[in-house]
């Protein structure tokens, strides 16, 4: 166990509660949808399932995320600001034509 993992309080990799696969310690980023739009949180110590890619956080990490959310993700504390493109599917959905009568669906 490295000094880093001790200071971060990271336990040995737990098993994924969803699929039972072993998880790997990783530093991840995630997006939260907040009232004023999405915010990105980086440098999150997490355990990532190698099978379903679900991310799990230790209690201390979850507490830090909760505190950040409770303070409303203050913009002045953000490490960086980015602009993101926003797309709409309006007008992009191509409806499939009806299947021919002789089409065998089995």
Residues that bind Zn ion (CB under 5 A): 16, 18-19, 21, 49, 51-52, 54
Q: Minimum Å distance from CB 52 to Zn ion?
A: 3
Q: Which is nearer to Zn ion, 40 or 56 (CB)?
A: 56
Q: Minimum Å distance from CB 51 to Zn ion?
A: 5
Q: Minimum Å distance from CB 50 to Zn ion?
A: 8
Q: Minimum Å distance from CB 43 to Zn ion?
A: 23
Q: Which is nearer to Zn ion, 17 or 38 (CB)?
A: 17
Q: Which is nearer to Zn ion, 31 or 51 (CB)?
A: 51
Q: Which is nearer to Zn ion, 34 or 51 (CB)?
A: 51
User: Which residues lie below 8 Å from residue 47, measured CB to CB, with a gap of 6+?
Assistant: 13, 14, 23, 24, 25, 26, 55, 56, 57, 58
User: Which residues lie below 8 Å from residue 12, measured CB to CB, with a gap of 6+?
Assistant: none
């Amino acid at each position: 166990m490295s000094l880093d993992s001790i200071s971060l309080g990271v336990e040995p990799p737990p098993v994924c509660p969803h699929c039972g696969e072993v998880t790997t310690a990783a530093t991840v980023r995630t997006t939260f949808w907040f009232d004023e739009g999405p915010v990105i949180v980086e440098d999150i110590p997490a355990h990532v399932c190698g099978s379903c890619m679900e991310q799990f956080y230790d209690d201390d990490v979850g507490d830090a995320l909760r505190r950040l959310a409770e303070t409303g993700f203050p913009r002045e504390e953000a490490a960086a600001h980015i602009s993101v493109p926003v797309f709409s599917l309006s007008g992009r959905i191509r409806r499939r034509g009806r299947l021919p009568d002789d089409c065998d669906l089995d």
